[in-house]
Amino acid sequence: MIEGAKWRRWVFFYIPLGVFVFVLLFPFYWMMVTTVRPDNELYRPWMAPNYTPFWTMHPTLDHIKYLLGETLFSTWMLNTLIISTVATAISLFCGLLAGYALSRLKFPFAGSLGTGIFITYLVPQTLLFIPLADIIRNFHLGDTPWALILTYPTFLIPFCTWLLMGYFKAIPKELEECARIDGATRWKAMVYIIFPVAVPGILSAGIFAFTLSWNEFIYALVFLSSPAEKTVPVGVTSELIRGDVFFWGPLMAGALLGSIPVALIYSFFVEHYVAGLTGSVKG
């Protein structure tokens, strides 16, 4: 790995890596500790003699019980899951076909069309939600899951298209030409040869798209208003921060439970997903 003396390896490798891992994981640790910390410890002043910010001696499940029993958290989870899954599926489908077409088919303006799609991805959502709100209202979709299922693809499709376009370009075109000489139509060559080879790329596009829609905040905040329709990020922040009162325990419990599905998906596909990012096609 790294040649040289032991101290060198510590100074240039283990210590920086340790610091990096610590910085990344500390918020999660804080989230977990806060979730199981009883209220009397949470609101204890920092100069109190028994102030222990980094651990607790009296772990409790009260906050989780409150979150699941007294709020609509499970409804929010279900809403988020449905919206994210459907939005991801739509975006992946369109992204696959668009990415294939832009990387493989020769047609006029293919290059500028690709750039155009990328530019739409660069338009900030914080600007785009204003005209989109108008459209949502005109179609009477406000306060329904459709408001998000149909607006998330506006940034997910460009994202998927670009990621997959790059991936398709890395696949040697001879594979496809060979399939077409072998007797496959362009469509069959795409379905039987190109898509199976592109599975790592498709998986990473899917995982990213799912995560982006799972964490999406501003559209969900603007387009949904009744508590029963909300998604996890919006539900937790709007229902557990009342005025200037922060219900830290349930808030952190919500954040913790809300991040579990994404963490599960990531760890399940991690190998493919890394291959997708580094774009390796073994021939």
Partner 1 sequence: MYDEVHAVKDVNLEIRDKEFLVLVGPSGCGKTTTLRMVAGLESITSGEVVIGNRVVNELPPMDRDIAMVFQNYALYPHMSVYDNMAFGLKMRKFDRAEIGKRVREAAEILGIEGYLKRKPRQLSGGQRQRVALGRAIVRHPQVFLFDEPLSNLDAKLRVQMRVELKKIHNRLSTTAIYVTHDQVEAMTLGDRVVVMKDGVVQQVGEPLELYNAPVNRFVAGFIGSPAMNFATVRVTDANGVMRADNAGFGIEVAPELAPRLLPYAGRDITMGIRPEDLRVANGSDPAGLCFDAVVEVVERLGSETLLDLQVGAQTMVAAVEPAVRAQHGDKLRLALRADRLHFFDMTSEAAV
Work out which of 74, 115, 185, 267 binds partner 1, going by CB under 8 A. 185
Q: Which of 89, 175, 218, 265 binds partner 1 (CB under 8 A)?
A: 175
Nearer to partner 1, 242 or 282 (CB): 282
End-to-end CA distance of the chain: 27
By CB atoms closer than 10 A (0-12, 13-18, 19+), residue 48 is exposed
Kindly state whether residue 49 participates in binding partner 1, applying the rule CB under 8 A.
no
CB of 89 to partner 1, least distance (A): 23
CB of residue 190 to partner 1, shortest distance in Å: 13
Is residue 124 involved in binding partner 1 (CB under 8 A)?
A: no
Residue 84: its H or E element = helix 73-104
Euclidean distance between CA atoms 268 and 283, whole angstroms? 25
| Interface segment toward partner 1; rule CB under 8 A; list 72-80, 104-112, 253-261, 269-277 | 104-112
In the list 57, 183, 226, 244, the residue contacting partner 1 (rule: CB under 8 A) is 183
How many residues bind partner 1 (CB under 8 A)? The answer is 24
Q: Does the protein bind partner 1 through residue 179 (CB under 8 A)?
A: yes
Q: Which is nearer to partner 1, 131 or 196 (CB)?
A: 196
Looking from the CA of 99 toward its CB, the CA atoms found within 13 Å total 29
Q: Which long-range contacts (C-beta less than 8 Å, at least 24 apart) are formed by 141-144?
A: 141/223, 142/223, 142/224, 142/225, 143/223, 143/224, 143/225, 143/226, 143/229, 144/229
Asked if 177 interacts with partner 1 (CB under 8 A), we say yes
